Amino acid sequence: MSDGKLIVFSAPSGSGKTTIVQHLLKHKELNLEFSTSATSRAPRGEEKDGQHYYFLSLEDFKKKIKNDEFLEWEEVYRDNFYGTLKSEVERIWAEGKNVIFDIDVVGGLDIKNIYPEKTLAVFVKPPSIEELKIRLKKRKTETDDKISMRVAKASIELATAPQFDFIIENHHLGTALKEAYDLVASYVGVKNENKDE
């Protein structure tokens, strides 16, 4: 279909993968475009439809599942569906770009299984579950209940790390960003120049 590559960043919520993905997107030489996922959860804070997510009603999300419009989808939390639309990946490939994903571990491994020869799957590991809890609390975007739900899920997610191509331990953000840059630059075949930025 295309020569574009797929770069997956997966991790428990609060591990810092979104920061890493946003950092990589600033490096134009990597020729990356973000795969905007669809979700049935409500927008948080400043989130905009079509930019952070395509926000769909639960009903519309289920309709798209039925119509086979998703490359992968997952009920990440109860009644909160997330998925990658086939049309999103096709659009980015048609632009001649590589696709970068910020998705949960199950979705990440699904993509790797669908396109094994053109996917780099990276797992971002938080320093500890305790630290994860602190980060989620600091973020102040979820209720205590939701934080507990995310922390409980994190332990299960951590067990999938060995199935990824690489694991980045996010103890120190600067080091994690550099490591991520190096991995992606090498995978997409870019000479490693701007990694310190």
- From the annotation, which residues make up the binding site for ATP? 11-18
CB closer to ligand 5GP out of 76 and 184: 76
- C-alpha to C-alpha distance for 103 and 121, rounded to whole angstroms: 11
CB closer to ligand 5GP out of 41 and 178: 41
CB closer to ligand 5GP out of 33 and 74: 74
**Which residue type sits at 169?**
E
For the bound state, the minimum distance from the C-beta of residue 178 to ligand 5GP, rounded and expressed in Å, comes to 22
Q: Which residues contact 149 (CB under 8 A, 6 or more apart)?
A: 77
- Other Cβ atoms less than 10 A from the Cβ of 110: the count is 20
The DSSP H or E segment spanning 17 is helix 17-25
For the bound state, the minimum distance from the C-beta of residue 174 to ligand 5GP, rounded and expressed in Å, comes to 22
For the bound state, the minimum distance from the C-beta of residue 2 to ligand 5GP, rounded and expressed in Å, comes to 19
- DSSP readout, 104-144? -HHHHHHHHHHSGGGEEEEEEEPS-HHHHHHHHHHHT-S-H
The residues binding ligand 5GP (CB under 6 A) are: 13, 37, 41, 72, 74, 76, 82-84, 102-104, 106-107
Q: What is the CA radius of gyration of the chain?
A: 16
List, as residue ranges, the binding site: 11-18
Q: Please say whether the beta carbons of 79 and 59 come within 8 A.
A: no
The residue with its CB nearest to ligand 5GP is 107
For the bound state, the minimum distance from the C-beta of residue 104 to ligand 5GP, rounded and expressed in Å, comes to 4
CB closer to ligand 5GP out of 106 and 183: 106
